Structure 1
Amino acid sequence: MGWAMMLMLLLCLSAGAMVVQGEDPYLFFTWNVTYGTISPLGVPQQGILINGQFPGPNINSTTNNNVVVNVFNYLDEPFLLTWNGIQHRKNSWQDGTLGTNCPIPPGQNFTFHFQVKDQIGSYFYYPTTAMHRAAGGFGGLRVNSRLLIPVPYPDPEDDYTVLIGDWYSKSHSVLQTFVDSGRALGRPDGVLINGQTGKGMGSDKPLFTMKPGKTYKYRICNVGLKNSLNFRIQDHSMKLVEMEGSHTVQNMYDTLDVHVGQCYSVLVTADKEPKDYTMIASTRFTKEVISATGIISYVGSTGKASSPLPLAPEGWAWSLNQFRTFRWNLTASAARPNPQGSYHYGQINITRTIKLVNSAHRDGGKLRYAINGVSHVEPETPLKLAEYYQVPQKVFKYNVISDDPPATVENKASLEPNVVNITFRTFVEIILENHEKSPQSWHLDGYSFFAVAIEPGRWTPEKRSNYNLLDAVSRHTIQVFPKSWAAIMLTFDNAGMWNLRSELTERRYLGQQLYISVQSPEHSLRDEYNIPDNALLCGIVKDMPKPPPYSI
């Protein structure tokens, strides 16, 4: 072999090696989803376990990691997981909702592969099929910042995940018969912290330990079904540092309202007497307060947790005022999905305003929930598959709701797929208006949005003068208080089919959700990935030939 050819071969091999070395790291997980008997409230019931665990295992990743999760479904019914808050850039194929994916049939598996591209923060996963969220199948998902990017606080001594949520002692199948028959879920039977409710009386084993003088990070997520919860730690203040993927201005709080689907990261310093202390999660906006407790023990503890325990605040006005104290930390270095112009979102022209009004209805005596008069029904063929295979007209219609619904929209509801078409890369304002007497919580897949305002009353264009157009937190879940509205703003630059849903499980299950179709006109791999080779097919596309793939 000549020297020139050998040199070219070495250069090619070196280039190939650089490509391999330059690829972001992979994390591989194999999960077996099974039924199992659990007793979180002291009553045996059927739960959904992942690798025998309830709650499921934590995923501990770092910015830009590729996460590969092979999920084996050993239940006797279809199953699917969503990754709450993970943005799946160009890749709604991995979103894990029934509008984007066929559920995993019993006895089969599906491998999710997604990248936590340009993200940091605290998230969780949970089932989106049936009422499975009421049986478990959820767990924490954290995205740590890369070492190259400093975080705006010293490294904590340890990092703890705290999953709080309301809980029912009846099985998920019984709860499903309730909502299928037109009944509401009603009052939960308890509240859990990491799958436990706490017995008190000094008999509980510590959930976490802290060394005196050290500071710890607690990632607190509300993984429950319907109730906002208040979280607090006896005699300790919490420094808020991150919220759903964004570093925040570091205010101190004695107590935090965490609405369904939301996650906060706080720093807690062990600067008190070295003994046991109680953490409390309790329901908000309910006639009867239901609580769970857990123990944090100092290393070298000299005594059990004492009473009285700190109380939660009362009224939703307090919670609204707390929301107004949340601010985005504009000076922190951090991974951001779209850093260009992120600091100046208040200067971007709005191209479209969409007002969404949630409502409750009776259809043939059965309870249904709706958005702008449409109660979403999941078709047999996932919406994303119908769109990709270019047969959407056989499955759904675009824009069956109007951007500005009439006042009579609360009086009736049609049952059909609810899909809104939004132009790629436009900056949109969405108003979430809640005319009901109970609080709401909304989540948008595939994006973070700027939560610019929550106010009582009805929204009008003049209300824009009250928006925070400087440092509203970029997040993915927002609460709307009774008889109130919330405004969010975002650029729809992530092509795909994305779920906007009520995080209150019975409301989502009974139709209070819609899908947003964001299509790239170029159909280019620069904007969206092709359907995965392992994608499960169902409905009318099951035996259809695959469309030509996108190219650059």
Structure 2
Amino acid sequence: MERVTLVALLLCLSAGALLVQAEDPYLFFDWKVTYGTIAPLGVPQQGILINGQFPGPRINCTSNNNIVVNVFNQLDEPLLLTWAGVQQRKNSWQDGTLGTMCPILPGQNYTYHFQVKDQIGSYFYYPTVGLQKAAGGMGPLNVHSRDLIPVPFDRPADEYNVLVGDWYTKGHKALKNMLDSGRSLGRPDGIQINGKSAKVGDNVEPLFTMEPGKTYRYRVCNVGLKTSINFRIQGHPLKLVEIEGSHTVQYDFDSLDVHVGQCLSVLVTADKEPKDYYFVASSRFIKVPLSSVGIIRYTNGKGPASPELPPSPPVGSAGIAWSMNQFRSFRWNLTASAARPNPQGSYHYGQINITRTIKLVNSESRVGGKLRYAINGVSHIDTPTPLKHAEYFGVADKLFQYNLVKDDGSAVNTPAPTIAPSVVNATFRNFVEIIFENHEKTIQTYNLDGYSFFAVAVEPGTWTPEKRKNYNLLDAISRHNVQVYPGSWAAIMTTLDNAGMWNLRSEMQHRAYLGQQLYFSVLSPARSLRDEYNLPDNQPLCGGIVEKLPLPAPYTA
């Protein structure tokens, strides 16, 4: 009897070991990227489609899944896709920016392989080359909690993705030519909601349907080029439950601001009179307001939506204060079980000593009659050889100089910015404080690839060390995108524990294209696979600097 029990125990242990060693599940996608005619504002124009769709296919996955996306570029121009907000641990090779990867040339394909490691939430992907984002090529990316991890709200009846943003009726190539010739983009022509726009009274198909008595999750992302959006649903409160991978303390809102590049989730309960209701999206902080509506229909509902729309938030300086106060009301749900930022202790961020403070100030200027945007007086340019490749092969000095951007926010008011590749040398595992200071009259948003950070403060005026007393050091949202209001500053904190070359950029696409971005080089001294992956076997080399060089010795375990 004892022998049988021992054998059974050994068999159980062996099975457990096999389970522990098993790889996480894989999800495979084949995408053909083509041109096609779209008309988000009712004006036919050339768009960028994925498998014939705009918006593109949804990636619906679970924490720790391996995502494999085989992208066939059938455009007549180079292409890259970035996975905004997805923290690719140890894998900036797959980040989809020109500083880390060679673009996918026309007629060629490339297979992305990355893992949605230890995270949940609402994200989206989009093209990063030129002004391609203005033509589409984007879609939702949803990461769910594993079944064993409880979510702090009941499972909704369904989930709906809402990709909303400003839109131009000029094609992306025409917009790029405008910037290249020194002109600005001007104001957008309208707002699209999932590739469509409508006004009150239009006879349109519903965006979504809801069954009376049930609750639905709306994942809303601002995928536009430059305009902050406020959204609301006629007659229905919005229960905020998630922002960019963090479960939030749950409050009801009449409307919510979502800034360029940002995503959030709300729960909406179909507990009103069964009929149609308007989903309303309107612009924020621009002189000539823009808006669009979509229909949300109750199943078996009778009657059209009321033409009386819910009020928009205040405009002008009062609108900025209103939006800033809304930001301050967002709190991380510390009691919720969910993936936590790496390292696991970093959610006690308020107890970690700051090892480096970096102040970044954006600016606009003209060089030779052409617009340039800069950070701390440096306007970034992309290079034919990706910066990451040059660094990996040990020839970075042939391509760029580290630390042109100084930590103190200096060189902003120089007559002209330095136009050069911009790479900040960062220390692996340092806990850094980054201050974004905006002296301009337009709102800014910033994204940091490869990381989530704690957005601890947004305030008017200029930053000084004394302002740290106003930081939220307990339950600030862990996220990847932060807005900086006109004449204001924002503070974020993060641990640089993800080795690689990571892009920090303005989410205003025209500003990033004309230089308002930089890269953080975070190198692991150990040169270990525990910290960073090797150059992928399928990654092409380009630019003429590294192609004929021998491969460096691979990282080891």
TM (normalized to structure 2)? 0.95
Task: State the distance in 2 between where 1:319 and 1:327 align.
Answer: 15
Does structure 1 conserve the Cα–Cα contact (< 8 Å) formed by 2:90 and 2:531? yes
Q: In the alignment, residue 418 of structure 1 is paired with which amino acid?
A: S
Q: Which residue of 1 aligns with 2:197?
A: 197
State the distance in 2 between where 1:145 and 1:72 align.
30
Asked if the contact 1:202/1:305 (under 8 Å) is kept, the reply is no
Of residues 340-349 and 485-494 in structure 1, the stretch that sits farther from structure 2 once superposed is 340-349
Please report how far the alpha carbon of residue 202 of structure 1 lies from its aligned counterpart in structure 2 after TM superposition: 4.6
Partner of 2:390: 386
Is the CA contact 2:456–2:491 (under 8 Å) kept in the aligned structure 1?
yes
Secondary structure of the corresponding residue to residue 501 of structure 1: strand
CA contact (8 A) 2:376 2:411 kept: no
* Structure 2: tracts of 5 or more residues without a match: 1-6
Which residues of 2 match residues 76-91 of structure 1 at below 5 A? 76-91=76-91
Aligned pairs for 1:205-244 (under 5 A) are 205-244=205-244
Alignment of 1:153-552 (within 5 A): 153-314=153-314, 315-338=319-342, 340-406=344-410, 409=413, 411-539=415-543, 540-552=545-557
Instruction: Say whether 1:117 aligns with 2:117.
Output: yes
Unaligned runs of 5+ in 1: 1-6
Distance 1:20 1:449, change over 3 A: closer
Secondary structure, counterpart of 1:93 in structure 2 = helix
Letter in 2 for 1:26: Y
Contact kept in structure 2, 1:372 and 1:410, CA below 8 Å? no
Number of equivalences: 542
Q: Is the Cα contact below 8 Å between 2:99 and 2:386 reproduced in 1?
A: yes
**What is the rounded CA distance, in whole Å, between the counterparts of 2:378 and 2:301 in structure 1?**
56
Aligned pair in 2 of structure 1 residues 317, 27: CA closer, same or farther (>3 Å)? same
1:20, distance to aligned residue in structure 2 (A): 9.2
Identity of aligned residues (%): 70
State the 1:342 CA deviation.
2.9
SS at match of 1:317: helix
Which 4+ stretches in 1 moved above 4 angstroms?
Answer: 14-17
Aligned CA RMSD, in angstroms, stands at: 1.5
Residue 101 of structure 2 corresponds to which residue in structure 1? 101
Counterparts of 1:240 and 1:507, CA distance in 2: 30
For residues 124 and 410 of structure 1, do their structure 2 counterparts lie closer, same or farther at Cα, with a shift above 3 Å needed?
Answer: farther
CA–CA distance in 1 between the matches of 2:165 and 2:310?
A: 19
CA distance in 2, matches of 1:487, 1:337: 18
* 193-202 or 75-84, larger mean C-alpha shift: 193-202
Give the 3-state SS of the residue equivalent to 2:196 in structure 1: coil
SS of aligned partner of 1:422: strand
CA deviation string 1:302-350 (max 9, x = no partner): 1111121112112211100100000000000001232632331011000
Q: Secondary structure of the equivalent of 2:344?
A: coil
**How far 1:17 moved relative to its partner?**
9.4
Aligned to 1:149: 149
Q: What secondary structure sits across from 1:541 in the alignment?
A: coil
> Which one-letter code corresponds to 1:468 in the other structure?
N
CA displacement 1:100-155 (0-9 Å, x = unmatched): 01000000000000000001000000000011000000000000111000000000
TM-score relative to the length of structure 1:
0.96
Distance 1:441 1:199 in 2: 28
The answer as to whether partners of 2:200 and 2:307 remain within 8 angstroms in 1 is no
Once residues 66 and 405 of structure 1 are traced to their aligned partners in structure 2, the CA distance between those partners, rounded to angstroms, is 39
